[in-house]
Amino acid sequence: MAWGTRLISNVLVGLLGVVSLGATALAEPATTVFLNGTPTPVFFNDGDSFRVVGGPYDGMKTRLAGYNTLESYGKAHQWGDWTAQELYVIAKMSTYNARRGVWHCSSDMKTDTYGRTLWICPDLVEDQLLKGLAHVLSVSGPGDPKYIAAQHEAQKNKRGIWSKGIPDFILTSLHSIDESATEDGTYNRLVSTDDGHSLKWIHDEKYVECQTVCDDGAEDGARLDAALAAMKDDPALSPIIKGSEGARPYDKTELLIIASDYARKKPLDHLMKRPEHLAPFKALLDGLAAKGQLGGRTPPMPACMIYVDFARRVGGGRAACLK
């Protein structure tokens, strides 16, 4: 039996066993993690975060830096020959793997945008990556070379999430425009399966609950940045962007959305401050596309993700597609 198939079969058996145990199985299993040198009990709620349940950091919620595991709140991911159910099982396996070890983490007590304290746990990260239970993630440039090497080894040996193919990018988060306080654009995050660098898929789309969103290959960060610079330098567009003749100016986010929507072959009319702005924008973008400088190729193995608002992912009111 192949490693990936055996892994999934074992985890499915384990999940069924947990269900059969009833309420007594719901107690939180504590894992020992050395936090800045102090042995501390924690509870791993998924494969890349935990809550401290004792010691000097009791109650602290965390996010572990340098890597990412698939979402474990439901059948959120799909690519290649994987079913969403199979990837959900692997996401759960990453949680159980984290709970079984003794790990060493350090932190300067900085927090992420959700208020979680960021910790670096090299031994846990490499273990998850080598088993194919996680992927490298960096918000600024490529990831740690040691982590990239561990991921490449897992990919070469077709372990875990890599055993049925490797997409160019993995979708790690989806945000609908109605989640934005300003409603002037939001983004989804794409993460490279080669070196872990991430891209922001800038958009102004409204998603419906349980909608499947797939990477269409158009969100090339370098090309969008080049398009942004070309717009600002174009003699016809520059005064429009700055707000000529009393029109409101276009900010950076709006310009990125225009370039991103064009690359996805979506209409631009609704993005224009004035109808007469469409022609000069389209002329510039058409020129970039003709030179191969804008627009994406369809990925050979697009990664997809199910959109569910954060508030509908857990509890009795969770979305139907997650049950």
Longest dimension (CA), the chain: 71
Question: Mind listing the pLDDT tens digit for each residue in 11-33?
Answer: 443 444 333 333 333 467 899 99
Question: Which residues sit opposite 254 in a β-bridge?
Answer: none
pTM of the model: 0.80
What Cα–Cα distance (Å) separates residue 140 from each residue in 128, 137, 188?
Answer: 21, 9, 16
Q: For residues 320 and 323, what is the distance between their CA atoms, to the nearest angstrom?
A: 5
Taking alpha carbons only, the member of 167, 140, 162 closest to residue 150 is 162
Does residue 292 surpass a pLDDT of 90? Answer: no
Specify whether the CB–CB gap between 93 and 181 falls below 8 A.
Answer: no
Place of tokens 């077709």: 158
Place of tokens 């709620």: 45
Q: For residues 139 and 200, what is the distance between their CA atoms, to the nearest angstrom?
A: 9
Averaged pLDDT for residues 279-306 = 88
Q: For residues 217 and 295, what is the distance between their CA atoms, to the nearest angstrom?
A: 8
Give 125-179 as a DSSP string: HHHHHHTTS-EE-BSSSS--HHHHHHHHHHHHTT-GGGTT---SEEEEE---GGG
**What ranges in 23-106 are assigned the alpha helix state H?**
84-100
Question: Mind listing the pLDDT tens digit for each residue in 207-218?
Answer: 999 999 999 887
Question: Mind listing the pLDDT tens digit for each residue in 30-79?
Answer: 999 999 999 999 999 999 999 999 999 999 999 999 999 999 999 999 99
Measured between its terminal Cα atoms, the distance across the chain in Å is: 29
Task: Return the top range by mean pLDDT from 184-188, 238-242, 260-264.
Answer: 238-242
Q: Average model confidence (pLDDT) for the chain?
A: 89
* Strand extents, DSSP E, the chain: 31-35, 38-46, 49-52, 62-64, 67-68, 77-78, 103-105, 117-119, 135-136, 169-173, 186-192, 198-203, 212-214, 304-306
